[in-house]
Every structure is written in C-alpha cells, then in structure tokens.
Structure 1
Amino acid sequence: MKQVLQNIANGDTNVVDVPCPQSKSGHLLIATSKTLVSAGTERMLIDFGKANFIDKARQQPDKLKMVLGKIKTDGLIPTVEAVRSKLDQPLPLGYCNVGTVLDNGGTGFEVGTRVVSNGNHAEVVRVAKNLCAKVPENVDDESAAFTVLGAIGLQGVRLINPTLGECVVVTGLGLIGLITVQLLRANGCRVLGIDFDSAKCALARQLGAETVDLSKNEDPIKVAEAFSRGRGVDGVIITASTKSSEPLSQAATMCRQRGRIVLVGVIGQEISRADFFAKELTFQVSCSYGPGRYDTEYEDKGNDYPIGFVRWTEQRNFEAVLDMMAAGALDVKPLISHRFAIQDALDAYQCLDDRASLGILLDYPNNDVVALTSRSVQLGSNPATGSTSAICAFVGAGNYASRVLMPAFKAAGASLNTVVTSAGMSAIHHGKKQGFAKASTDYADVLSDQSVDTVVIATQHNLHAQQTIDAIKSEKHVFVEKPLALIESEVDLIEQAYRESETKPKVMVGYNRRFAPHILKMKQLMGSVNGPKTFIMTMNAGEISADHWTQDAAVGGGRIIGEACHYIDLMRHLAGCKITGFNAMCIGDAPGVAVREDKASITLSFEDGSIGTIHYFANGGKDFPKERIEVFANGAVLQLDNFRKLTGFGWKGFSKMKLSSQDKGQKNCSQAFVDSIKQGTDSPINFEEIIEVAKISCQVSQQLRGGQYL
C-alpha cells in the first residue's frame, strides 16, 4: 500500500510502498477513500524538516539544552549519532482521513462501515476506536474528510462558549478559520473575519461573515468597534499562524469588558498585562480536537469519559461536525481548492507554497483489497542461506534498534533478511537504509521462514516473553533487547520452551555492559582477586514522565525491570557467582512523587560472600555522571565513570583507562552473539545465568511494587 512519509532530518517527502499495518484489539483497520491535507500543520512540519540543524535547534531550545547536557556526559560523537538517529525517523503526514472499515478490532464498528478518523495519508490506516466516528449516509467522502479539522474549530467554539446574538471575531481565515465562521453562524453569532488574503475574505463573506481585509490596509480595531456597536466584541478565536503576537494584542483591544479569547492556531504569545488587566479578559489555548487528546487512557486504551462529566470528547466532536454536515449547517465544498490522486501527493504538497490554496484532497482509487492488505514489501534480494550463517530478522525498529542494534549486527557479519514493525513505515525506512531484503508487519511470517535462523526482538517490553517463546519453538536463535520478561511466570515459560526444544537454539539478552571495554578490563584485573568483593553501582537515570510507556506496569514493566536489570546482570557478571539473596527499597510515598519505583536501592549478595548495592535514581542532576561503577577489593578500588574513564586506586599495575567517547559494549555484544552462531560455539551468556538474572529482576520489581505482580 502507499503512504506519504517525511524525513524529519532533511524535509524530503515521498510516497512510499509500505506493508499493511497489523490488526490490533481496540483499533480499526480502514481502507482510505479520501484524506485532506492540513495546510497549516503539514506546511509547518515540512518547513521544520527542511531547516538546517541550527535552525532546528533555534526552534526547539529545550531540546538544544538536552543535547548540550548529553555532550558533557556522553561525549560529542555518541551525542551526534543519537541526534541524527532521532531525526532519521519516518514521520507519517496527515490526520484527516475517511474510509471503510476492513477489520473492526473488536470495537463494535461493523466491517464495511464508512468512518472518519485522524488516520494518516495512507491507503490503509490503523486507528484507535475513540478517534473514529461513523459517517452519515448523506455526507459524501470529500466532505467527511474535513471532519477532524472541523472538530479543531468546534473545540475552539466550545471554549469561547458563544450565546445567541453575540459578536465574535475570527482572526485567520484558513481552512479552520472558515469552518469556525460557519460554526459560529450556526450558533446564532454575528462573525467578523480577519485575514490578509482577499479571496479568503470574499469566501468568508459568502459564508455569512463580515470581514477585514488587511491587504487593503483596513483597520481591524476600528472595524471591530463599529461591528460591535461600540461595545467591544464578545470574543475572539485566533486561527492564524504567525510568530507575531500582534493578533493577541489586537484581540485584547477589540474585546469588551470580560471578553474571551481562544487560541486555536499558532502565534506569538507575548501578553501585555495592561491589555488583559483592565478588562479582566480570559485567554485560553484550545487543545486540538477536544477532551481526550494526548490522553493514552482515552486514545490508545479506548477508555471513554462518562458523558455526564465530559459531554464533548474528541469522538463526540467528530460526530457533531458530521451531524452539522448532514443537516446542511456546515458546507465545506466551497473550501476545496485542489484534488490529487495519492500517487501524485508530491504535486499536492507543492500547492502549499501557494498561500491561496485551501482544501487539498487526496484520492485513493485502489480497490484491490488483497494488494492493500499485503503484509510485506520486498526491498532487495534474500541473503544466501547456510547452516550457521546468522540470517537475521529484526522485530521492532525503534530508535535503539535502528541506531545501535541493526548497524552492530550488520558490522558483525549477520545477514539482514526481514525487519518487522507493527505499522510498517519504520520497517520500510530502516529496512532500506540498513539493507534488509524485506519489510513486514507479520511476525508469524518470520517464524515460518526457513531461511531465517536468528530473531532479534526489540519491541515493547510486554511483547518480549511471548515473542521469545515463539522464536524458540520455531527453533530460531533469539537475541532479546532487555528485559527478557516482565513477570517470573513468563521466565518459567521461556525456560520450559528452551528445555523442550530439540535443537536448543541460542538465547541471548542484550546485556551489553558486560562487553564494554572498561568492564572487560575490570574483569581481567579482578581475576587475581581472592575473597569477597563489594560493589556500588549508581545509575543517575533522570526523570521520565509517569505516562511514558516504560512506566506502564503492563507494557514497559517500570524502569527497574526495564533498565536496572542491566546492573543486576553486570554485578552478577563481575562477582562471577550466583546471587544468593536481595533486598530492594524505594523512596516513600510523598506529595509530588508520581513514580517511586525508579528511585530505589537494590542490595545483592553472592555465593562467595560478595555484596553490592545498585542505586537507581531518577531524581538526580544531569551534571553528575549518568553511570558510575565502583569495586572494592584487596585494599584497592576501581571506579568507572560513564563508560569513558576507568580509574584504579591502589591497584598494582593499573591507574587509568580512558576512551575518547563512550562505549557501553553494544558492538562487542552483537559481535559475540553473531560469532557464536557462525562458529557454532556456546552463547556468550550462559542460559542458566540469563534465567537467573531475569528471575531476580522480576522479584526485585515485585518487591518494590509492594509484593504485587502486574
């Protein structure tokens, strides 16, 4: 199927063949008939992509500060690589879609139903149920494609809370502005529209508004005063896009005492207190389509708000817009300026340079359901097969997989066969870049492919255990980006699958730190140590918001099991013997602390009498090293800071080892695993040790959660 993707790094926009997305519970698969290009938002994204690194940094000063901090702790080269990787992600364009349901995902929508959604410009989209709404029979597809933009305008109108007969100004007469004019007129308001474009002003007048044409030097303040009969307007909805704060200042001047101003567009927001103070004006920024936007519980998990408490959600705003179209109160036909087929989408985007363009529609003429729903795309020739050739399939192509693991496996000599992702676009982008033979959205296809002997799992954490079990049962070697599993019973099932396997494929978890050059040196130095050792390992992890997927107990499992497991493995490796006990404690419940588990200390004891403490703290400062490892033994100390500098204190024959850039062992880890497959040697990490660390990690996480499993 075809999809419009943009490269954020350089702004290139292309129509790409991608595999059909996976079906997903609570989501609809929709065969697209029409999409609408959102001129303002999509022009902004394209302009950002085309900007150079300096201009990108200027537009995002908070991100620049993070980059400078990372350079200080990790070094220049790793930081540059991380930034480039972050920018080198395919961005799907578009969010105004209408089509027909192919798969209802158990949502209650009937297959074959016409629906609107915030799906992208793609022949098939997968959208959560709360972001879809059924299209009335008497609303055609072209009109329905305007629904999402209409909901943005409607939410602005709801916030301005107009009453019959009020006079309201709409500043900016683009698509959303012209829709807002009609919505206000339907509410019984008198409307004054303001814009620099004479044609858009003329169109606004056709829709029932009075106008101010700024291109003719008309004074909006004077016109608004006359329009309001000298009383001041009741409210202003700003739908313009400009860096200037002038629209906001004008709005304050136009308003009556206790007038209302709502920002729907993007403008400068330098507010003069004097403008707002004397009149007691209210100013509010509208959030997209309405309540539920950016709430993962509502959008991703499908949990609706009770109608008695939240009357108008995103979905219900979609329905309201469609109802107004069906009743004839909202007519978007005059707003259509261009029509293109999806394969000509690049020509459509050229129209964005013409500020006079309005509604640009993309048409999707392909009715071949078999072709549309194909789950794979061939990118190149398949690698030659061999009994120990390490022919790999990657499941997941997120930032870490694409930036670190794929290049590392390729450099290690693995043959890259298939890359699988849920939505398909990342599989295409990184599949082409890294030289994979095929991009897919079907993991089952990988398992049945006899030419693939190795699976690299880099998906969200809750998927790791079952995907590992499936790979083992398919007699394929498995490299799992940590963690192996989220709960101990999953570890038991993995162990059972391995024991029952006839071929005993290699199972490896990406505990790369034990392969880092500094750790290899530490292990060598400690080879002569007799007797117990003591360890202190500190991870100055930094805050991650409580709503991040890694903090979700059911999806990410929390940061201890997802990241601190690295240090449980590393301490086990350096101790060189089994873990005999542990204790874990996190900070207490306190106001303002959304997550407690990621501020914890974990103490481990070992068979040889060694002990160690892992400090995993998310509440530290960025100026302190992110990772520090200290080993105390034989009257001497080894201290490793941030995998860049290892210092020996009182260590005979060793004082310092420093690298020019950070190396956490990812390349060495991948190389060791690939070599073990090609050479038929033992896995780099013993299977029993992997299971031991996985179980301890699950038990530690359980203890920190108060003894409750997920």
Structure 2
Amino acid sequence: MKALRTVSARTMEIVDIPAPEVLPGEVLVDIHTVTLCGTDIHIWEDHYATELPIIQGHEISATIAQAEPGAVDAEGVPLAVGDPVVIHPLLPCGVCPPCRQGRENACTQLSVLGCYTDGGFVEQLALPANRVLRVPEGLDLRTAALVEPVSIAYHAVRRARPQEGERAVVFGCGAIGLIAIRALKDRGCEVLAIDTVPARTITARRCGADETVVVGPERPAREAIAEWAEPWGPEIIVEATGVPQCLEDAVHAIACTGRIVCVGISERPAQIPLRSLPTKEIEILGSRNCQGGLGEPLRFVARYRDLLRELITHEVGLPGVSAALQLMADRAVGVGKIAVDVRSSLATPLRVALDDAPTEEDLYAAL
C-alpha cells in the first residue's frame, strides 16, 4: 500500500509499504482525512523529539475495514465494517505513575501515532479497538478529523476549572486558541482573545470572543488586559502561542488566585518574577494532550460542526503535503487548518477546501 514518509528534513516521499497485520483485539481502518498542525511542521523540519524517517499524521478520521465479531470502540459502542471513526493517537504504557493515576495523556513513556511512531499518512492502519471512537451520524469525516486538536484545547480549558461569570483571556487565535474560546464561552466565561494578526481576531469573534485585541509594539498585551479586566484582572489565562513574552504578560496580568494554563510549546525560556507566584497565589498549569479520551471532544465537534468546518481553509492529497507544510511554516501567510484527503491523488500543491468559505469582508460584516 501507499504511504507518505518523511525521510529527512523537509523531504517527503511516497513509498510502498506492506499492508498492516491485524492482531487480536485490533481493528483495521481505511484512512480518510488527516489534518495538519504545528507539530507536523516541526517534525517535517526535523526540529522535533522524534527520529526520521517516520510516517506523519496524528489528526485522523477513518472507516472500519476489518473488525472482530463483538469489537467495540473506546466507549463500548459496537463496531462494524464501514463505520466512520476517529483515532485517538496516544499510545500510553499503562504502568507508569501518570497512567496509574488515570492521566495517560502525561505518560512518561508516551508514544503518539504520527509523532513518535508511524501514523496516518498511509492507506490503512491496524490499531487497538480502544483507540478508535465511532463518529456520530451527520458528522462528516473531514470535520471529524479535527477531534484531536479539539481535544487539546478542551483539556486545557478543563485544566483552568472555569466558573460561570469568570473573565478569561486567550493568547493566540490559532486552532487551539479558537476552540478554547468556544469551550470557555460554553462554561459561561467572558472572553478576551489576543493575537498579532487582525484576521485571526475576526475568526475569534465568530467563535464567541466578547472582545478581541490585536497587540504589537503600539498596543501591549498587558495594557489591553488591564483595561479589559479592570480593576482586578482576569481569573483565567490560556496561553496557546508558546511565545515566552505571552507567559510573562500572563503572570503580570492575572488576578490574584488566578489560573494560567500553558498549552503552547516552545524551547525558549520565559522570565517570570518569582515574587508574583506566592504574592498573588496564582497557579501555572501545564496542559498536555487530552485526559479521559475523545468522547467529550467528539461531541463538541458534532455540536459545532458548522463553525469548525470553517477552520479548514485548504485541502490537499498526499502528493501536496510537503507544499502544504511549507505554506503553514510561512507565518506571514493566512492559512487555517489544512485537510489531507489520503484517498486523493490530488497533486496540485493546494486548493481552497470550501468554495463558499467566507472572505475577511464577510466576517467583518457578520460582527
């Protein structure tokens, strides 16, 4: 069968590999759609904690091609050939302290499909039945592939323990930040969204942000937050950029006893005055992957399918993935999520996935 393999930095090749062997307790799936994220860029650039070559792809939807009689998904729903499913890419060890605590998302020996072991840029995968979840009726498989990034944002919001009426700030209006905005609004929070790109803040409004701010040298984030959340500051800040300055601003701006959740990833250090932590008695929480499976995030995607579908701005086949990653790596180019149709031989670099996708002018008019 065909697979797309990253063989070295910025180099991908379509190769022939053996069809997978299906072991007892496993299902065989036909891959339908894989969506791309920032992690895929880092792997493709060989700036990630993995070894090349590897078959990337961890945001995956598929259909069941083979299942044992009586096979059930992660929530105990019976599985049959042809069923649409999403794949939970986490492969925890099951025995380390986090796993024993029910926090497999932070497993000390965690492997992830498409990140540390071969993933979804392939025609078929064999994997344990408890790593798939049946897609509800009415949810298309391209949109369903967004369940994995939704789960990342959903877990970050749960870590923040939001309460109705609290004020929350989200740094970064990429996919994770946008989904976090919607999840915070669902919990009754008032939300300020911050980004450096005006178009992203427009999308943040569509996702429910009460206010948005485009920050830069002339409009510092600390100043914007102080004005919006006066006099005490916000109770919650979700840092979804990985930019050290954003964490520094968050510590400065957060209310006493507030919670800061860090879901953005970076190797760069941040400078935080240690006095702020005990004096304000704040919590700085890391958020990794998703605890508790994909059930709640999948229901979130089904509920907001129309909104989330708009986040997919481009579509490509396996031959165009490298060009898609190049486009995503260019921070000056406005691009949302890119969907990879694994079944397609589409060789053109990219095409707009939604012919009727709203323009920036349309979004302004809708506010």
Return the alpha-carbon distance in structure 2 between the equivalents of residues 37 and 363 of structure 1: 11
CA drift at 1:328: 3.3
Distance (whole Å) between structure 2 residues aligned to residue 14 and residue 272 of structure 1: 47
Residues 121, 342 of structure 2: 8 Å contact kept: no
SS at match of 1:273: coil
Counterparts of residues 165-176 of structure 1 (less than 5 Å): 165-176=165-176
Instruction: Tell me the residue number matched to 1:154.
Output: 154
Give the alignment of 1:386-401 within 5 angstroms. none
Query: Aligned residue for 1:352?
Result: 328
**Mapped contact 1:152–1:288 kept (Cα < 8 A):** yes
Hey, what does 2:81 align to over in structure 1?
111
Following TM superposition, by how much is the alpha carbon of 1:204 offset from its aligned partner in structure 2, in angstroms?
0.7
Q: Secondary structure of the residue that 1:332 maps to in structure 2?
A: helix
Distance 2:68 2:190 in 1: 44
TM-score, normalization: structure 1?
0.41
Q: Does structure 2 conserve the Cα–Cα contact (< 8 Å) formed by 1:100 and 1:111? A: yes
Retained in 2: the 8 A contact 1:170–1:239?
A: yes
Aligned length: 303
Amino acid across the alignment from 2:143: S
Structure 1 Cα separation of the partners of residues 216 and 168 of structure 2: 21
Alignment-derived partner of residue 328 in structure 1: 304
Aligned-residue CA RMSD in angstroms?
A: 2.3
Alignment-derived partner of residue 300 in structure 1: none
TM-superposed CA distance for 1:345, in Å, is 2.1
1:148 deviation in Å?
0.4
User: Cα deviation per residue 1:254-285 (whole Å; 9 max; x = unaligned)?
Assistant: 11111001111113344321221210111111
Residue 251 of structure 1, CA deviation: 0.8
1:92 aligns with 2:55: yes
Q: Is the aligned partner of 1:143 residue 2:132?
A: no
1:624-639 superposed matches below 5 A:
none
| 1:270–1:4 distance in 2 versus 1, CA, 3 Å | farther
CA–CA separation in structure 2 for the residues paired with 1:361 and 1:283 = 33
Measured after TM superposition, the shift of residue 329 of structure 1 is: 7.6
CA–CA separation in structure 2 for the residues paired with 1:215 and 1:2: 46
1:27 maps to what in 2?
26
Separation in 1, partners of 2:68, 2:5: 25
Do 1:101 and 1:115's aligned partners in 2 also have CA atoms closer than 8 Å?
Answer: yes
Asked if 2 retains the 8 angstrom alpha-carbon contact of 1:212 and 1:219, the reply is: no
Question: Distance between the aligned counterparts of 1:259 and 1:275, measured in 2?
Answer: 11
Query: 1:28, 1:239 → 2: CA distance?
Result: 34
Q: 1:329 to 1:124 in 2, by over 3 A?
A: closer
Match in the other structure for 2:251? 252
Contact 2:123 2:343 in 1 (8 A): no
Determine the structure 1 residue equivalent to 2:229: 228
Which residue matches 2:94? Answer: none
Cα distance in 2 for residues equivalent to 1:230 and 1:346: 48
Higher relative contact order (CA 8 A, sep 6+): 2
* Preserved CA contact (<8 Å) 1:31 1:99: yes
Contact 1:15-1:345 at 8 Å conserved across structures: no
| Alpha-carbon distance in 1 for matches of 2:41, 2:249 | 25
Residue 364 (structure 1) aligned with residue 363 (structure 2): no
Task: Tell me the distance in 1 between the aligned counterparts of 2:306 and 2:228.
Answer: 24
CA distance in 1, matches of 2:33, 2:212: 31
SS of the equivalent of 1:331 reads helix
Deviation of 1:16 after TM superposition, in Å, equals 2.4
- Matched letter for residue 82 of structure 2: G
Take 1:329 and 1:98, find their aligned partners in 2: how far apart are those partners?
A: 15
More helix by share: 1
Q: Could you report, residue by residue, the CA deviation over 1:468-527 in whole angstroms, capped at 9, with x for unpaired residues?
A: xxxxxxxxxxxxxxxxxxxxxxxxxxxxxxxxxxxxxxxxxxxxxxxxxxxxxxxxxxxx
In the alignment, is the contact (CA less than 8 A) between 2:31 and 2:120 conserved in 1?
no
Determine if contact 1:194/1:201 at 8 Å carries over to the other structure. yes
Q: Please state how far the C-alpha of 1:366 moved relative to its aligned partner.
A: 6.1
2:46 aligned counterpart, secondary structure? helix
Q: Alignment partner of 2:257: what SS?
A: strand
What is the match of residue 681 of structure 1?
none
Q: TM-score, normalised by structure 2?
A: 0.76
Q: Which has the larger radius of gyration?
A: 1
SS in 1 for 2:164: coil
Give the alignment partner of residue 44 of structure 2, picking from 12, 37, 46.
46
> 1:366/1:46 Cα in 2 relative to 1: closer, same or farther (>3 Å)?
closer
1:221-300 correspondence runs (5 A): 221-242=222-243, 245-267=244-266, 268-290=269-291
Indicate how the Cα distance of structure 1 residues 280 and 330 shifts in structure 2: closer, same or farther if over 3 A, else same. farther
The CA distance in 1 between the partners of 2:68 and 2:271, in whole Å, is: 46
Contact 2:194–2:213 (CA under 8 A) maintained in structure 1: yes
Q: Distance in 2 between matches of 1:251 and 1:341?
A: 40
Q: How far is the alpha carbon of 1:4 from its aligned partner?
A: 2.4
1:327 shift after superposition:
2.6
Give, in whole Å, the separation in 2 of the partners of 1:269 and 1:14: 38
What CA distance in whole angstroms lies between the structure 1 residues aligned with 2:319 and 2:46? 24
Cα distance in 2 for residues equivalent to 1:364 and 1:24: 24
C-alpha offsets along residues 166-222 of structure 1, whole Å, 9 cap, x if unaligned?
Answer: 111111111111111111112221111121222111111222212221247322112
SS at the partner of 1:110?
A: coil
* Structure 1 CA distance for aligned equivalents of residues 137 and 320 of structure 2: 29
What residue number does 2:163 align with? 163
Aligned to 1:91, what secondary structure does the other structure show?
Answer: coil
